[in-house]
Structure 1
């Protein structure tokens, strides 16, 4: 009876360890960086942003601006690095940008969705047009992904 109790205790400990590895290993690490510059410093990117908004090809338009208002805008380059330290792939990673104060539009993005293999990382790059006096307060990226079919969500502040 004592031997059976020891065996069952070992099996229970192994199962608890496996469950912990699954849950903890399914969490993505994130690191975000934001670089902001005056739009006048990069007229080519400003023209590309204005064209994407006008054509309707911009991934996200939060508000429209007149030509005169575009001159005082700033460009933000947001890079988010996702790190998967777990033993399982993070699949179908999709995201939604919650615009911050003064955000006008996302005029370019590097991907619509990502798959991040186990023990690796991936980057997402967003290019934003924002008003000149804005600081992007409240801007966040809401992320949804799946690990072994289990849905995970995260909110990343990218102010």
Structure 2
């Protein structure tokens, strides 16, 4: 990654963290509560529990979570989810899940019209493209489409995606 991209990522992370901190409320559910209350996220919730990330994602944040649906997990090669959920694969599962999390609360209005690489909690970057294509979704994260945006939680925001992101 060149210096310009590093500076842009750091600047964006700082801006997003400060904007996200201002957007938080004290009432309502956190990221884990919202995911656990939605049956479309049952596989994600099971994975978060297996990785030991519940307390982190219930923490103050703020976080932006690109949340894959059950259908997104089901689209992985057969046996992948079951293998990742085994205790001996906890590190790999944690790496994949934290690749779906960005520090700060980033809402769709902050993304639309821009394209950038953003650092994840896992340490790698994801490409967030809010420029919308002629035939694509309005917002993409790597090769996943955001199918539902701006699900606000007390400690961040959830954007539903149709693919599991792999670092």
The TM tier, using the shorter chain, reads: under 0.3
With normalisation by structure 2, the TM-score equals: 0.26
With normalisation by structure 1, the TM-score equals: 0.27
Higher strand share: 1
Higher helix share: 2
